[in-house]
Amino acid sequence: MMIRNALKYVFVCFGLLFSMEISAQEKPNVLFIAIDDLNDWSGCQQNFPNVQTPNIDRLASSGILFNNAHCQAPLCGPSRASIMTGLLPSTTGIYAMIDDDKIKECNETTNEVIFLPDYFEQFGYKTMGIGKLFHLGDKAKCFQEYGGVYEMFGPKPQKRFKYDPAWFGKPSGTSTDWGAYPVYDSLMPDDKYANWAIERLKQKHDQPFFLAVGFIRPHVPWYVPQKWFDLFSVDQMKTPPFDPDDMNDISEFAKQVMDVPPMPTTEWAIENNYWQEIVQAYLACMAFTDYQVGRVLDALENSEYKNNTIIVLWSDHGYHLGEKNRFAKHSLWRRATHVPLIFAGPGIKVSQKSEIPAGLIDIYPTLAGLCKLPPNPKNEGVDLFSILHDPVKAAQKCVITTYGFKNHSVYWDDWHYIHYKDGSEELYNLKNDSNEWENIASKDEYSEIKLKMKQKLPEVNLSNVPQSSYNINEYFRENLNDL
């Protein structure tokens, strides 16, 4: 076969030949922004008042916000493993926390995985990253240049300010606390991550780059300097909806799976007059991280790469701030699964908002499509832009979130269906019941929609791999590795 010109590249991937008519210099770069524990309160999503996220909002206005996006696991380790592998937790057997360098050791399926940054590297990209990208940063060593992780969830004062589970006879297992600390932004790891990314955007790169930045806040502890707290009046702080009888219509098994013994309850926060303080602290952390995101976006805008860089911003899962009597992720309910997912850059129309169900698992194939790379046939997600204007495919799209072996959540159209390992179920009409207060799974009139939702559950459900474990509650501690 004759080579028509010097700009044509032939790659061998998965035993197939792929021809690329585009030179390395013409390929779009990727700016990959991860934010830890950021729920769906960003201003562009309009789910909570008085939020200050102007930079995330301007990114959304410069591209497309997938406003019905959900994680594949409501926990850092399995969520990030799913994003980086392009596989569902039920396919890999990774349901809980896992060291990044152990992912490929789990089974035959994960042995063959090509991590997202490695996939781009195969097609001539320089991969650079800093901060929390995998759960432990980049212990998997898939970035060519990695800037490290500083004090993963620090810095921290010598003594906690408001909450330590040991103070209240609760088991350990959370860094939950809040308060103004430290004095300066420069002492925060996220500030350093932004600095590092900004320096890379100032550099000259002779090949396309994949630059990943993993911000820590608003992960607990909710510590940021005082100036970020000052943006929000605690006395005027609103709190999210809460129904103390909310759990009366779900199974005992569901309560067991979703239990978070180390975490504060909403009832406790109300009794101690802490709820408004906690929401203020979370919003302060959001505002701080948004500022760091803005610094990186400004650096890109002022660089030579501003017109040739695809940007994706995502959070690994959501977070309850008092809903469902909890301050935690660790659930299959919407507040813990619903996340911001934004794409912007060349070829992407501005000021778009899509309600198509999207998953973080779709990031891998979507970035490959936007960068004109051949699809990785192992990916279980889809290129979101391939269905964006296809009503038939869009109508069929659903998203699956998994929390432990055979505990699945399915989002499809206006419906949210949860099916647990013991066979118990929950069904919510999100259009009429956005708070998920009324479980209608047992009502006969919804049997047909429930059946359709059930048919979308994963067909493959691997047992939890021994490399993956978690100690948040008795169910995970005693059962996860014995399935």
Question: Is 447 within the bounds of a domain?
Answer: no
CATH number for the domain that contains residue 86:
3.40.720.10
Quick count: other Cβ atoms within 10 Å of Cβ 199?
11
The Cα–Cα gap between 56 and 11 comes to 36
76 is catalytic: yes
Question: Is 162 within the bounds of a domain?
Answer: yes
Question: Is 411 within the bounds of a domain?
Answer: no
Q: In what order do the strands lie in the sheet with 209-215?
A: 145-146, 126-131, 209-215, 29-35, 309-315, 341-344, 63-66, 352-354
Give residue 25's pLDDT.
53
371 is catalytic: no
Give residue 481's pLDDT.
60
Question: Is 102 within the bounds of a domain?
Answer: yes
The Cα–Cα gap between 388 and 237 comes to 37
Question: Is 436 within the bounds of a domain?
Answer: no
Among 472, 476, 471, 468, smallest CA distance to 97 is for 468
The model's pTM is 0.93
State the virtual CA torsion across 433, 435, 441, 447 in degrees, nearest 10.
30
Which of 76, 106, 371, 398 is the catalytic position? 76
Q: 360: Cβ–Cβ under 8 A, 6 or more apart, which residues?
A: 69, 70, 71, 72, 79, 82, 83, 314, 316, 339, 341
| Structural domain boundaries enclosing 324 | 30-399
**Tokens (6 digits) for 6:** 């010097």
The per-residue pLDDT string of the chain (483 residues; one tens digit each, 9 = 90 and over) reads 333 333 233 333 333 333 333 444 579 999 999 999 999 999 999 999 999 999 999 999 999 999 999 999 999 999 999 999 999 999 999 999 999 999 999 999 999 999 999 999 999 999 999 999 998 888 889 999 999 988 878 899 999 999 999 999 999 999 999 999 999 999 999 999 999 999 999 999 999 999 999 999 999 999 999 999 999 999 999 999 999 999 999 999 999 999 999 999 999 999 999 999 999 999 999 999 999 999 999 999 999 999 999 999 999 999 999 999 999 999 999 999 999 999 999 999 999 999 999 999 999 999 999 999 999 999 999 999 999 989 999 999 999 999 999 999 999 999 999 999 999 999 999 999 999 999 999 999 999 999 999 999 999 999 999 999 999 999 998 877 654
Question: Is 211 within the bounds of a domain?
Answer: yes
Question: Is 68 within the bounds of a domain?
Answer: yes
* Size (the chain), residues: 483
**Tokens (6 digits) for 179:** 């308060």
Give residue 471's pLDDT.
92
Among 28, 33, 25, 27, smallest CA distance to 297 is for 33
Count of structural domains, the chain = 1
Number of helical (H) and strand (E) elements in the chain, helices listed first: 16, 19
Question: Is 180 within the bounds of a domain?
Answer: yes
Which of 44, 71, 106, 135 is the catalytic position? 135
